[in-house]
Structure 1
Amino acid sequence: MTLTNQKTTEDIALGIRRRVFFHTMKHNGGYLSQACSAAESLALLYNELLTLGAPTLPKVPLPFRGVPSAHNPDAFTGAGYHGPFAPEYDRFFISPAHYALVIYSALIETGRMDENALDHFNKDGGSVEMIGAEHSPGMEVTTGSLAQGLSMAAGVAWARKRRQEPGKVWVYMSDGEFQEGQTWECLAAIAYHGIDNLRVIVDVNRQQCDGAMSSVLDLGDLAARVSSFGVTCRSVDGHDLDALRLAANSAEPEKPLVILANTSPFQGMNFLKKRFPRLHYVRFKSAEERLEMQAALAAELGIDPAQIEGA
């Protein structure tokens, strides 16, 4: 990291959850459970694991300037918040675009984006979108429909390996992407080509839009299935920072590294368990329901409810 950050990784993880909570309460809904499951792994990535330069985009996000093309010199990608492209720096691909709010919060907590950047969230003409696109902060490419991010990152990693660049390529995925055939095709390819500069962290929270994954399309023993392709696969507690650190440093020569971060979609906000498995997007049916959840979650997160704007 080239940015000086006085926060611990634990503090950043808590800050991510608090920031997404504030936003969800203010806007009567949000991707709240993703902050519960992903906070530790994203905090660790941005604060310890990724080698990134200083951001090349303003801390206050720019408005949308059109899609990249040879005829649009003003276009940009959100990868600018990860710093410049250079051989010594890592690249970071966010595959589940609906985690955008959590990514924005991580960028703010680590000093890469302005404290008030979420004021631009989901505004017409803005780049801070609810579902991240290539111009959204932290996003290098458009990755929806799900399961496209790994393949695009793999291509970049293969090219960097052939150029003998020291920087790694990291990918953040959700477990739902293993319900897509493209993910398995990519695993076969990266193992066959020995793309060992590729690092993948998967948020295994076992939930999706339609409910628990076990009720939609169960993945079975995901660790065994992933390992069978010939990659190095580590399955760990996704809320245990020491376990994540050990896994991140356990890569083997000529093998991509896949870390299955087993997580809870209500970690740090146990009140959400009442809604499980309907947690993909949290919205309130009444003012009473919102106030009940606001009070319960604020207490769990150590927040004074009176501080919540618009409460």
Structure 2
Amino acid sequence: MNASLRVSDPGADWSVDDPQGLALRLRLRAVRMVAPHGFGYLGQALSSAEQVAAMFAHARPGLDRMVCSPGHYVIAPFAAAVELGLLDEEAAATYGQNGSFIEAIGTERSPVVDYTCGSLGQGLSAAIGFCLSDRLHGTDRRTVAMVSDGELEEGQVWEAALFAAHHRLDNLAVLIDANDSQVDGPVSSITTIEPIAAKWSAFGWHVQDIDGHDVHAVIAALKAAAAETERPSVIVCRTSTVHGLDCLPPDADGHFIKLPPELAEAAVAELTSRVESHRA
């Protein structure tokens, strides 16, 4: 893969026949990417795996855009891209290493997604810029933006939400990873952001509130968003940063998981078994 290629670029191509299987393989790939460091943003891949698998299953290659607003979530699109042949395994093996373009926290040079950023709260504004530009150019592109619930503490997110609703950007869908986790602890213990769905509805958005670990529910929600012709859409995905990996200790910090060699080995074994069982 060209280091600069992104999912909406001409020449980008993939297919997803088994989105649930992709979510499982994505988790396994993320463990392998984090394991050499012994720590990292594995929790973000665990909570968003089904959302990322659904995005790739729903998107039209070489046309639709993907935005990853929280830069540390980029591990999940990277992992999915390897599984779909969009990113070399050799490149993925350099994840988080000095000088690698497969960065632990995404930047403007990151491949795969159309936009990601280190500073939280800015991705929705970028997604809106894409959507407004696409409307002005008369193109049929759609943009899906990944946003974390912790980012909802940022005022820029709500300013962007107002702008998108005012301009009726029906070519925009937002996936909110509502995992109640941020660096300082549970989001709910830092700032009360509920009721999330009611807030977005009040801002004029088409809202769906779903189980974010049901990949088919996420795909159905993205299809419903694509069918919306009057408003932007937001999908509140209820998730957990330890979902799908039972070997993690009960006190695992979902935001930045420590993964010593013995735990990494157990995680690889557990997820490999899940992938093989699913294929059977």
The reply to whether TM is greater than 0.5 is yes
Counterpart CA distance in 1 for 2:122 and 2:31 is 28
For 2:250, what is the secondary structure of its paired residue?
helix
* 2:257 maps to 1:282: yes
Using the size of structure 2 for normalisation, the TM-score is 0.86
Question: Structure 1 159/5 Cα, relative in aligned 2: closer, same or farther at 3 Å?
Answer: closer
* 2:61 maps to 1:52: yes
Which residue of structure 2 aligns with residue 23 of structure 1? 33
Which residue of structure 2 aligns with residue 265 of structure 1? 241
Q: Percent identity?
A: 35
Structure 1 runs not aligned, ≥5 long: 54-88, 305-311
Larger Rg: 1
Query: Deviations for 1:23-74, whole angstroms, at most 9, x for unmatched residues?
Result: 222221121111111111101111x211122xxxxxxxxxxxxxxxxxxxxx
* 2:193 maps to 1:227: no
In structure 2, which of residues 95, 104, 111 is the aligned counterpart of residue 137 of structure 1? 111
For 2:160, what is the secondary structure of its paired residue?
helix
Counterpart CA distance in 2 for 1:218 and 1:265 is 19
Which residue of structure 2 aligns with residue 10 of structure 1? 20
Counterpart CA distance in 2 for 1:213 and 1:94 is 19
Structure 2 runs not aligned, ≥5 long: 1-6, 275-280
Using the size of structure 1 for normalisation, the TM-score is 0.78
Which residue of structure 2 aligns with residue 155 of structure 1? 129
Counterpart CA distance in 2 for 1:13 and 1:108 is 12
For 1:211, what is the secondary structure of its paired residue?
coil
The list of structure 1 runs, each at least 4 consecutive aligned residues, that deviate by more than 4 angstroms after superposition, is: none
* C-alpha displacement of 1:172: 1.1
Asked whether the 8 Å contact 1:132–1:139 carries over to 2, the reply is no
Counterpart code for 2:25: G
Counterpart CA distance in 2 for 1:133 and 1:192 is 29
* C-alpha displacement of 1:299: 4.5
For 1:173, what is the secondary structure of its paired residue?
strand
Counterpart code for 1:112: L
In structure 2, which of residues 37, 47, 63 is the aligned counterpart of residue 37 of structure 1? 47
Tell which deviates more after alignment, 3-12 or 18-27. Answer: 3-12
Asked whether the 8 Å contact 1:211–1:279 carries over to 2, the reply is no
Asked whether the 8 Å contact 1:133–1:139 carries over to 2, the reply is no
Asked whether the 8 Å contact 1:33–1:266 carries over to 2, the reply is yes
Which residue of structure 2 aligns with residue 300 of structure 1? 270
Cα root mean square deviation, aligned:
2.1
Counterpart code for 1:229: F
Counterpart code for 1:34: Q
Which residue of structure 2 aligns with residue 118 of structure 1? 92
For 2:151, what is the secondary structure of its paired residue?
helix
Counterpart CA distance in 2 for 1:141 and 1:250 is 24
